[in-house]
Structure 1
């Protein structure tokens, strides 16, 4: 088999890269060990976060650090046995999350975020997938005046700095728009411009089907067999060796399986997360994704049911599943919104690929010809998949990139 480009990894980022390259007339093979979007891209809160200009940082206030240290929260959990391995990453993550550095990162990161809705819209129209989208934003709701005032002040700063649209929700407005939430709230914050997706896996598969309809090919295989051959690349597949003029590594949390053997020691770690679906009890309806801010979990209306998602679990990528955050969240969520029975046999777990400066790695590998990197999107893989796909495709084909890729280059580490 031969192709112009082989894209390693069939998550939302890899699918978007492959689709944009195929649109530009390149012959593309998309390779993954599983089917399209069956790993990290299968489960998330379904948000295209146009408000997410500040990537999720490491907390710096003492109270939060103390709570996380006790390891009993819903929004963060850690495996004590993994802390020694994770310590270098966590130290750098904490350093980059200091307010001044975080603000500087946000200015760079916003150049990608600014295009997230429009790039999804473009692909969704081409793939006949617009029915997956809802354009009513999402809610952050509050139980205490302290959190309400803090987050509304933050939203106002972001509005002035980046033009982000929001509205403050007083209690009567919140109760009118989400009448089935428990009467434990004092108000909320409505991010009005993000779009929500009722089946993230279905959307990714729709993009994949469009890639295939344009002539793109999918092969199941082991990306770790990638090797440099002259100016091109070869990977072993059950169908025989595949050679390509260029290779794109879009393997998310498994990127190091390819990058390490090639000599790239990148500070990549994972934040694992879990979800479970529930049937709404009786006639209860959830109209928006809702973040219970003080408790640290999301409830999201999905095609399958109400999806409960948890925060970040710091653990080894391949460590055993420990859905303790889900177990902590479920009884609180049941009091918060009328949830009936579970709809999944077991909790789903995914691993988000994270860099210490919270920005993805996008661009050409510095020491190998025709090798490109596209991973490390952390919480925003779904949000930034189509943006990254277009950016990588433009760089590979020699077009002028529509976003300056310099801040995301691999040699910044």
Structure 2
């Protein structure tokens, strides 16, 4: 299946576009999703300009955990059992923190998220999501090679490290299930076995599940920038501009940039968590769950063999160019909330119990927001009421993983293709008209 996916990815990104009508496109947003959109359009022969208010890969695509997650076949559901919800409510678990103001603002989206997290609905959603994650590495592969970014990628998988015996037993059963259901491969280690595999561990865990197909990137921001450099090298254009100046015009769309007013027949909205606010101006009310995350780098004396998630404490440790990056779970807070690094500090303290983190690197504190649709699937397709307005956002935790994959699917939609997968991602089928 992986070989088939590689061929699919190559065909998608390398086709010459012969026989298609060429058009001018604006892509708003220079994260992984936006840059991937621009590359896919360019591969079809279209004239493309990326517009961003800052630079390339400087938001969520800069600060994530750097994983291309084949193992993430099932998107993160909202727990429905009262024990876990109480842990979240009282912040006993480090997975989730929250503020009342954020919960109130997101209340409709959170309620919808809760409903979509029922076992029946989540199983149906996962069958769609798994089709995306399974091909993610294959769709990244040609871009990694053509952008000269192989040095940033390790084909090392991702480890789920468990400290609790009962939770480890559940994780083993889950690994067996996702192998049967989705073809996600893994290796199972008891605590002592994985401590031999990972010399940096100074304490024996209950056990570990090593998902083998996922890839790790040592600088996700640099990879996004390399993809954009490839886009520019191939004749694309990147300009600085404010997405809030976007207007519908007689000929299509226009926007103000430092290079003046730009016009195009089509525009792709790939602004991640900022997308709903922009499209609200055009009459679209898109509920979204905003999950803030933080990271910090540490001068760990011992390098990890592969990234791992400390499941009990909700933090992921991954080797990066700047040191060992510790990335947090979700903070349900308003977009304009002040920094609150308690989640990061608690996670780092917990990690220090099992590995030597070393001193934290002094740098500006990064934070980013994961744009999560309540039904846990990205919006990919044309806006219901505006010709030439394309939605490509709402990837939740998986924008870095799925950018090239959903960009390829967006091309299929633009070319008039129709199938069950495209229908499941379509704004026409998921938004009120």
Measured against the shorter chain, the TM-score band is over 0.9
* Pairwise CA distance, 1:231: 4.3
Q: Does 1:350 align with 2:350?
A: no
Bigger mean CA offset, 202-211 vs 65-74: 65-74
| CA deviation string 1:270-311 (max 9, x = no partner) | 100000000013xx1211111111121111111211001110
Partner SS state of residue 280, structure 1: coil
RMSD of equivalent CA atoms: 1.5
Partner SS state of residue 353, structure 2: helix
| CA deviation string 1:208-258 (max 9, x = no partner) | 000000110011011111111124111111221100010000000000232
* Pairwise CA distance, 1:173: 2.3
1:53 corresponds in structure 2 to: 73
Q: Does 1:94 align with 2:114?
A: yes
- Aligned mate of 2:175, from 129, 132, 155: 155
Q: Does 1:305 align with 2:304?
A: no
| CA deviation string 1:326-350 (max 9, x = no partner) | 1211221222211111113243100
2:40 corresponds in structure 1 to: 20
Partner SS state of residue 335, structure 1: coil
Q: Does 1:190 align with 2:210?
A: yes
C-alpha separation between the residues in 1 aligned to 2:416 and 2:218? Answer: 34
CA gap 1:232/1:88 in 2 versus in 1, 3 angstroms = same
1:80 corresponds in structure 2 to: 100
Please say if residues 364 and 410 of structure 1, whose CA atoms lie closer than 8 Å, have aligned partners that are also in contact. Answer: yes
Please say if residues 362 and 409 of structure 1, whose CA atoms lie closer than 8 Å, have aligned partners that are also in contact. Answer: yes
CA gap 1:139/1:383 in 2 versus in 1, 3 angstroms = same
C-alpha separation between the residues in 2 aligned to 1:140 and 1:404? Answer: 29
Q: Does 1:381 align with 2:394?
A: no
Give structure 1 stretches of 5+ with no counterpart.
none
Please say if residues 250 and 373 of structure 1, whose CA atoms lie closer than 8 Å, have aligned partners that are also in contact. Answer: yes
TM-score by length of 1: 0.96
Q: Does 1:359 align with 2:377?
A: yes
- Aligned mate of 1:247, from 259, 264, 267: 267
C-alpha separation between the residues in 2 aligned to 1:317 and 1:403? Answer: 34
Equivalence map 1:269-308=2 (5 Å)? 269-281=289-301, 284-308=302-326
C-alpha separation between the residues in 2 aligned to 1:369 and 1:171? Answer: 56
2:195 corresponds in structure 1 to: 175
1:410 corresponds in structure 2 to: 427
* Pairwise CA distance, 1:400: 4.3
- Aligned mate of 2:353, from 327, 335, 338: 335
C-alpha separation between the residues in 1 aligned to 2:217 and 2:34? Answer: 19
C-alpha separation between the residues in 2 aligned to 1:209 and 1:75? Answer: 36
How many residues in Structure 1 have an aligned counterpart in Structure 2? Answer: 408
C-alpha separation between the residues in 1 aligned to 2:55 and 2:210? Answer: 36
C-alpha separation between the residues in 2 aligned to 1:333 and 1:264? Answer: 43
Please say if residues 391 and 403 of structure 1, whose CA atoms lie closer than 8 Å, have aligned partners that are also in contact. Answer: no
Please say if residues 128 and 421 of structure 2, whose CA atoms lie closer than 8 Å, have aligned partners that are also in contact. Answer: no
